[in-house]
């Protein structure tokens, strides 16, 4: 056997030794673990217990029917915000608010600093929503599929507001919907 082969044999033997030590160490670790509950002759009632649990995580989905909405003067455009599932802790409820960075004493469509007013309302109300308005509230697993978990919003730009534009181009706003569970 050459010196090179002898070194390789020793190397493989050393690796095998480490592998065996690791296996024995794991076996020892598994066999030496103390039990969480031990019952013996001195245990009252000769009983032990094990606590069994299963944790269900919070899971909910809010769907918005439109990702973009093009307004036409004097014509309402609508879209729906709906809770499509609501699994929350007992006693907690889901709510949804709507907001805009462009909101300034009313909803605004903006183009390079110029702004045009538009309205944003619930379909069941005549007054404009305020910024950060709660549009859905009190929703949990028991009522998300009913009226409590859905709202239709209407947006409209009046002809007079559209006619007040001083520049051509696209005027836009981004509505942000925020979900809160409390």
Q: In this predicted model, what pLDDT tens digit does every residue of 65-108 receive, in sequence order? A: 999 999 999 999 999 999 999 999 999 999 999 999 999 999 99
The CATH number of whichever domain residue 90 belongs to comes to 2.60.40.1090
| Residues 150 and 99 occupy one common structural domain | yes
| Residues 6 and 95 occupy one common structural domain | no
Confidence (pLDDT) at 12: 52
Read off the tokens for 28.
Answer: 């020892």
| Residues 19 and 105 occupy one common structural domain | no
Work out the mean pLDDT of the chain and round it to a whole number: 85
**CA–CA separation, 81 vs 121, rounded Å?**
13
| Residues 11 and 89 occupy one common structural domain | no
| Alpha-carbon 44 to chain mean position | 48
| Residues 1 and 75 occupy one common structural domain | no
**CA–CA separation, 60 vs 83, rounded Å?**
8
| Residues 24 and 64 occupy one common structural domain | no
| Residues 22 and 96 occupy one common structural domain | no
| Residues 75 and 24 occupy one common structural domain | no
| Residues 104 and 26 occupy one common structural domain | no
Residue 36: pLDDT band (50, 70, 90) is: confident
Residue 50 falls within a domain, yes or no? no
Q: Judge contact between 150 and 122, C-beta under 8 A.
A: no
Helix (H, G, I), strand (E, B) or coil at 169: coil
Task: Name residue 43's beta-bridge partners.
Answer: none
Helix (H, G, I), strand (E, B) or coil at 29: helix
What pTM value is reported for the model?
Answer: 0.74
| Alpha-carbon 56 to chain mean position | 15
| Structural domains counted in the chain | 2
Helix (H, G, I), strand (E, B) or coil at 72: strand
Q: In this predicted model, what pLDDT tens digit does every residue of 137-170 receive, in sequence order? A: 999 888 877 778 999 999 999 999 999 998 999 9
**CA–CA separation, 3 vs 94, rounded Å?**
74
Q: In this predicted model, what pLDDT tens digit does every residue of 124-138 receive, in sequence order? A: 999 999 999 999 999
Domain span holding position 74? 59-181
| Residues 79 and 124 occupy one common structural domain | yes
């Amino acid at each position: 056997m050459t010196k090179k082969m002898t070194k390789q044999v020793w190397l493989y033997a050393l690796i095998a030794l480490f592998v065996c030590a690791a296996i024995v160490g794991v076996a020892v670790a598994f066999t030496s673990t103390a039990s969480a509950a031990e019952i013996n002759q001195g245990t009252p009632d000769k009983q032990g217990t094990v606590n069994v649990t299963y944790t269900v995580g919070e899971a909910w989905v809010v769907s918005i029917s439109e990702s973009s909405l093009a307004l036409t003067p004097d014509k309402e455009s609508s879209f729906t915000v709906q809770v499509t599932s609501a699994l929350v802790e007992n006693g907690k409820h889901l709510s949804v608010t709507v907001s805009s960075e462009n909101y300034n004493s009313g909803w605004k469509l903006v183009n390079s600093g110029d702004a045009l007013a538009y309205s944003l309302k619930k379909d069941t109300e005549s007054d404009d929503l305020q910024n950060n308005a709660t549009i859905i509230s009190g929703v949990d697993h028991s009522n998300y599929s009913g009226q409590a978990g859905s709202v239709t919003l209407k947006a409209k730009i009046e002809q007079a507001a559209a006619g007040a534009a001083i520049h051509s181009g696209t005027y836009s706003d981004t509505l942000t919907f925020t979900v809160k569970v409390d």
